[in-house]
């Protein structure tokens, strides 16, 4: 039995406590024998064996009786064996919970012996408690093993011992027999996980040789109250509620490591070398050619693998059918890459340890350039598994990434990826995109694409190399030490050699992740507090025009962005002399951007924006609600607007229309409206460009709705017209607008609350009211131009 994980620091406090050991194994795997052997030779520790087949005065009882019996034993300070098959997670769950309610460690001992051995034992034996004997045994064991889910630490086990041979079993017997009342066994996963496929093959081969007399469902059910019949009657939905991704990965992860050079031993789990697990970059969502990608992976692995000492690189994909894995395997084999240092692995990259037994202290994420969660695939899975603290830690390192670059994010101890999987760092990497529906599409320009993909892997591997170098400075390079020394090792991180690569440099903020997360909320717009607090304090509360109103600190965000767009590159979509275009931080529709007026003195015409179009193309990602912000001081709201601003208003409108055009190119079904809020919440004049689907989780209340769907929303075309003719916009000061009853913007039907309204508008296809159809207030795709009164 080999040790496979750190001996987590669970020791002291658990001393002297009983332990619950859940046996996991098919009939005939030797569970009862295991218990007997331990109980016979364990003189120091009292053990109780809870066996469902005998719990009711020697007859089979219920699961609840087992739990009660186990509880009683634990209360008496006795350690407990749960002797039933427990092959599926759902069957184990309630016993694992014993640990929570009684504060004892729960262990699993898996007797994962060859199926034919279990079957032959079952066939031979007579008088077994479970009454599973004779010819029926084969089919029952086979069925049970097909449903087998090996236990994972994530289920709540402090320790899992997986035995795959008689000698493994003997080692485990010895370990538990030698356990004195004050001893504890190290926590973690011990022993290798086997591949389900091999076991099944063995069964099938065996069954062909053996007679399978009772090969039907009905016969199976007729097995009297045995372990087997109980278990086969239980539902298969043990992991109900998990997404299809994790479900798949769970199945796939049983396949385990696929070493591409057969000569090397298969026990990847035993190795504690620093290990980077990475998904294939750009070949999924970004539709990069996998032939080219596999060449680049192999090329870059060759370049780095020998610079990394004993560190390992592992290419991971969910399915054993993965084309990129097989291509890379073949090519790496051709190039004779050392398979100790580079191999492929089938599994869920967020569960390599708990689900696949593979230790990877660093995992790479195929991120998007905004470094945001969601979007599906690996990115969504990693952010989801990493929890909020990963998002916070990520934003601490960088706000965005260019294709071809990577950023190392040290994982806070609060992240489940850290605590459950032993991952100390996530490296986000953005590759080239060939998917026309995604941002920054390279339109099949593979000369550029390959260059960017090489850069991406270089950045990734360099990031990993930096971590390895840093961790090599600690006394040992093992995972145990990396985890224990995490905060220190981050401070020692070297600067990376590439300028676009952000290095890990975690600061003290981690100590209170919740507090920090709070401050993050307003980050994208509001982190430029220097100016608002010290730079121009008199402006921040300045009242101009007809209104007097002071601006709250949160209302400064757009102003800060407009004054210093270069400091907010991650949020900004376009910068010109006159305006800044950015995504609304809390979009209220599928598309919602802001066009913000920029700085003072330049009232020039809009053609200046054309030269910025390439920039836009690079920076644009599928966004929702855009705002065009005018760049000037003292121009905060419509009441500040005078005739002199007319050119600026026209520019803002034109810029807004350009973005509409772009969005319509992506989705011609959208309809847009451009306009200003009568009484905006944020200072600095800004034009909303918003699609009329209002399909957004950020649209939450009456004020949100009414600010875009009452006279509170002043159409840009009307404002331009009014300023042009009167020198100012018509401004009725009506506070009631935002609290008006909720009405559909299309059919004008009234709705009692926001949820009902939202469910209505997802279906309402009525023509827009005639007022909106006039004067170009609504903007849609050319093909829709005829939609009218």
Partner DNA sequence: GTTCTAGAAC
Show which residues are catalytic.
Answer: 686
Residue 121 or 686 with smaller CB distance to DNA = 686
Contacts 24+ apart (CB under 8 A), 513-519: 513/388, 513/389, 513/392, 513/412, 513/414, 516/392, 516/396, 517/388, 517/389, 517/392
* Region 576-615 residues binding DNA, contact defined as CB under 7 A: 585-586
Backbone angles phi, psi at 646, to 5 degrees: -55, -45
Query: Measured from the CB of residue 606, what is the shortest distance to DNA in angstroms?
Result: 25
Q: Looking at 307-315, 411-419, 514-522, 763-771, which segment touches DNA (CB under 7 A)?
A: 514-522
Which lies closer to DNA via its Cβ, residue 6 or residue 528?
528
DSSP state of 574: E
288-317: contacts with DNA (CB under 7 A)? none
Report yes or no: 249 and 397 within 8 Å, Cβ to Cβ: no
Contact 277, 249 (CB under 8 A): no
| Residue of 143, 251, 292, 704 that binds DNA (CB under 7 A) | 704
Region from 107-115, 192-200, 435-443, 516-524 binding DNA, contact rule CB under 7 A: 516-524
* Residue closer to DNA, measured from CB, 511 or 741: 741
Q: Which of 251, 500, 536, 698 binds DNA (CB under 7 A)?
A: 698
Which residues between 206 and 225 bind DNA (CB under 7 A)? none
Based on the shown chain and the rule CB under 7 A, indicate whether residue 707 belongs to the binding site for DNA: yes
* Apex 444 CA angle, 440 and 449, nearest 5: 65
User: Does the footprint of DNA cover residue 753 (CB under 7 A)?
Assistant: yes
Rounded Cα gap, residues 685 and 699, in angstroms: 21
Q: Which range of residues in 51-59, 209-217, 461-469, 676-684 is near DNA by CB under 7 A?
A: 676-684
Binding residue (CB under 7 A) for DNA from 469, 549, 567, 700: 700
| 3-state class (DSSP) for residue 258 | strand
Q: Which stretch binds DNA (CB under 7 A): 329-337, 338-346, 646-654, 748-756?
A: 748-756
Beta strands in 396-543 (DSSP E): 406-410, 425-429
Q: Contact between 682 and DNA (CB under 7 A)? A: yes
Q: Which is nearer to DNA, 249 or 414 (CB)?
A: 414
Q: Which of 332, 358, 347 is nearest to 279 (CA)?
A: 347
Pairwise CA distance, residues 638 & 646, whole Å: 12
In the complex, the smallest distance separating the C-beta of residue 367 from DNA, rounded to whole angstroms, is 22
- Nearest distance from residue 704's CB to DNA, in Å? 6
Q: Give the binding range for DNA (CB under 7 A) out of 12-20, 287-295, 332-340, 678-686.
A: 678-686
| # chain residues binding DNA, by CB under 7 A | 24
Does position 702 interact with DNA (CB under 7 A)? The reply is yes
Interface with DNA includes 756 (CB under 7 A)? yes
- Under the binding rule (CB under 7 A), the answer on residue 701 touching DNA is yes
Using the CB atoms, write b or e for 528-556: b if 16+ within 10 Å: beebbeeeeeebbebeebeeeeebeeebb
**Burial (Cβ within 10 Å: 0-12, 13-18, ≥19) of residue 425:** buried
Q: Which range binds DNA by CB under 7 A, 170-178, 221-229, 332-340, 701-709?
A: 701-709
DSSP state of 772: H
Q: If binding is defined by CB under 7 A, does position 739 make contact with DNA?
A: yes
Q: Which two tokens stand for residue 561?
A: 């962005």
CA distances from 197 to 153, 200, 521 (A): 22, 5, 47
From 66-74, 195-203, 204-212, 677-685, span contacting DNA (CB under 7 A): 677-685
In the complex, the smallest distance separating the C-beta of residue 519 from DNA, rounded to whole angstroms, is: 8
Give the x/- contact pattern for DNA in 467-506, rule: CB under 7 A.
----------------------------------------
Q: Which is nearer to DNA, 566 or 735 (CB)?
A: 735
> Which of 14, 121, 653, 677 is in the footprint of DNA by CB under 7 A?
677
CB 394, min distance to DNA, A? 17
**What b/e string do you get for 641-659 counting C-beta neighbours within 10 Å, with b at 16 or more?**
beeebbebbbbbbbbbbbb
Is residue 680 involved in binding DNA (CB under 7 A)? yes
- Nearer to DNA (CB atom), residue 81 or residue 672: 672
Rounded CA-CA distance 714/653 in Å is 13
Do 226 and 130 contact (CB within 8 A), yes or no?
Answer: yes
CB atoms within 10 A of CB 750: 12
Rounded to whole angstroms, the Cα distance separating 594 from 562 reads: 11
Please report how close the Cβ of residue 65 comes to DNA at its closest, in angstroms: 31
755 near DNA, rule: CB under 7 A = yes
521, 610, 642, 643: residue in contact with DNA (rule CB under 7 A)? 521
Q: Which is nearer to DNA, 557 or 563 (CB)?
A: 557
CB of 682 to DNA, least distance (A): 5
Stretch that binds DNA, among 126-134, 465-473, 575-583, 698-706 (CB under 7 A): 698-706
Local structure of residue 535 (DSSP, 8 states) = I
Q: Quick one: 254 or 688, whose CB is closer to DNA?
A: 688
Q: Which lies closer to DNA via its Cβ, residue 492 or residue 751?
A: 751
Shortest spacing between CB 401 and DNA, in angstroms: 24
Neighbours of 623 (CB within 10 A): 20
Q: Please state the closest distance from residue 739 (CB atom) to DNA, in A.
A: 7
Residue 312: what are its φ and ψ, rounded to 5°?
-120, 150
Q: Interior CA angle at 733 toward 727 and 734, to 5°?
A: 140
For residues 508 and 206, what is the distance between their CA atoms, to the nearest angstrom? 60
Using the minimum distance from each CB to DNA, give the nearer residue, 515 or 665.
515
Judged by beta carbon, residue 143 or residue 549, the one nearer DNA is 549
Which burial class, exposed, middle or buried, applies to 107 when counting CB atoms under 10 A from its CB (0-12, 13-18, 19+)? Answer: buried
- 649 near DNA, judged by CB under 7 A: no
| Minimum CB distance to DNA, residue 559 (Å) | 13
The region of 35-43, 55-63, 454-462, 680-688 touching DNA under the rule CB under 7 A is 680-688
Residues 540-559 that bind DNA (CB under 7 A): 552, 554-555
Alpha helices in 695-739, H assignment, sequence order: 702-709, 716-726
321 or 514, CB closer to DNA?
A: 514
Q: 125 to each of 28, 169, 284, 362, how far by Cα in Å?
A: 9, 20, 52, 49
User: ∠510-513-515 over CA atoms, to 5°?
Assistant: 120
Please state the closest distance from residue 385 (CB atom) to DNA, in A.
21
Dist CA 731 CA 680 (whole Å): 13
Binding site for DNA (CB under 7 A): 518, 521-522, 552, 554-555, 585-586, 677, 680-682, 698, 700-702, 704, 707, 739, 752-756
């Amino acid at each position: 039995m080999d040790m496979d994980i750190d001996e987590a620091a669970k020791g002291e406090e658990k001393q002297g406590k009983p332990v619950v050991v859940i046996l996991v194994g098919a009939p005939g795997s030797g569970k009862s024998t295991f218990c007997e052997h331990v109980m016979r030779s364990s003189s120091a520790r009292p053990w109780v064996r809870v066996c469902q087949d005998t719990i009711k005065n020697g007859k089979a009882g219920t699961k609840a009786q087992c739990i009660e019996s186990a509880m009683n034993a634990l209360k008496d300070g006795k350690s407990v064996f749960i002797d039933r098959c427990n092959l599926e997670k759902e069957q184990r769950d309630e016993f694992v919970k014993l640990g929570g309610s009684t504060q004892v460690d729960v262990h699993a001992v898996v007797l994962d012996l060859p199926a034919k051995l279990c079957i032959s034992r079952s066939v031979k034996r007579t008088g077994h408690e479970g009454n599973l004997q004779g010819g029926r045994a084969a089919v029952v064991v086979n069925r049970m093993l097909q449903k087998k889910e090996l236990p994972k630490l994530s289920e709540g086990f402090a320790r899992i011992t997986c035995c795959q041979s008689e000698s493994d079993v003997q080692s485990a017997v010895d370990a538990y027999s030698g356990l004195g009342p004050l001893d504890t066994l190290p926590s973690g996963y011990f022993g290798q996980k086997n591949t389900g496929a091999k076991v099944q093959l063995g069964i099938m081969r065996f069954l062909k040789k053996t007679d399978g007399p009772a090969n039907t469902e009905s016969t199976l059910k007729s097995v009297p109250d045995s372990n087997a019949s109980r278990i086969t009657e239980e539902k298969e939905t043990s992991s109900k509620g998990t997404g299809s991704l994790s479900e798949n990965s769970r199945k796939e992860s049983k396949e385990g490591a696929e070493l591409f050079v057969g000569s090397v031993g298969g026990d990847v789990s035993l190795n504690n070398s620093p290990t980077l697990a990475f998904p294939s970059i750009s070949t999924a969502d970004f539709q990069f050619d996998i032939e080219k990608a596999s060449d680049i992976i192999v090329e870059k692995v060759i370049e780095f693998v020998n610079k990394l000492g004993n560190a390992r690189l592992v290419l991971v994909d969910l399915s054993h059918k993965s084309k990129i894995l097989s291509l890379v395997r073949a090519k790496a084999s051709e190039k004779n890459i050392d398979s100790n240092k580079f191999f492929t692995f089938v599994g869920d990259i967020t569960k390599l340890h708990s689900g696949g037994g593979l230790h990877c202290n660093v995992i790479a994420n195929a991120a998007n350039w905004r470094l945001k969660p969601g979007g599906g695939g690996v990115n969504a899975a990693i952010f989801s598994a990493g929890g909020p603290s990963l998002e916070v830690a990520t934003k601490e390192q960088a706000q965005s990434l260019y294709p071809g670059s990577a950023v190392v994010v040290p994982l806070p101890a609060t992240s489940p990826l850290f605590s459950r999987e032993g991952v100390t760092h996530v490296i986000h990497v953005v590759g080239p995109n060939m998917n026309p529906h995604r941002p920054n599409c390279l339109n099949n320009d593979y000369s550029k694409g390959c260059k960017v993909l090489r850069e991406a892997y270089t950045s990734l591997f360099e990031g990993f190399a930096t971590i390895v170098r840093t961790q090599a400075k600690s006394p040992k390079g093992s995972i145990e030490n990396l985890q224990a020394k995490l905060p220190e090792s981050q401070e020692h991180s070297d600067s990376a050699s590439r300028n676009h690569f952000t290095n890990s440099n975690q600061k003290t903020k981690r100590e209170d992740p919740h507090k920090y997360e709070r401050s993050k909320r307003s980050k994208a717009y509001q982190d430029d507090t220097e100016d608002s607090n010290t730079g121009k304090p008199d402006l921040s509360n300045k009242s101009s025009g007809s209104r007097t109103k002071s601006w709250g600190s949160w209302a400064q965000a757009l102003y800060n962005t407009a004054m210093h767009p270069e400091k907010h590159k991650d949020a900004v979509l376009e910068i010109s002399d006159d305006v800044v275009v950015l995504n609304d931080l809390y979009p209220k529709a599928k598309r919602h951007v802001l066009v913000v007026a920029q700085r003072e003195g330049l009232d020039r015409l809009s053609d200046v924006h054309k030269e910025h179009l390439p920039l836009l193309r690079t920076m644009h990602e599928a966004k929702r609600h855009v705002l065009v912000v005018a760049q000037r001081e003292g121009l905060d709201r419509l009441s500040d607007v005078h005739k002199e601003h007319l050119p600026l208003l026209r520019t803002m409108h034109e810029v807004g229309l350009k973005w509409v055009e772009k969005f319509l190119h992506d989705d011609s079904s959208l309809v847009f409206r451009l306009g200003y809020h009568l009484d905006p919440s944020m200072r600095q004049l800004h034009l909303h460009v918003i699609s009329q689907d209002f399909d957004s989780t950020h649209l939450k209340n009456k004020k949100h709705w009414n600010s875009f769907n009452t006279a509170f929303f002043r159409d840009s075309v009307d404002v331009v017209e009014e300023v042009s003719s009167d020198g100012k916009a018509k401004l009725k000061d009506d506070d009631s607008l935002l609290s008006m009853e909720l009405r559909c913007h299309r059919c004008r039907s009234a709705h009692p609350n926001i949820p009902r309204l939202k469910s209505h508008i997802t279906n309402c296809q009525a023509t827009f009211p005639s007022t909106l159809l006039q004067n170009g207030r609504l903007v849609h795709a050319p093909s829709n131009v005829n939609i009218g009164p």
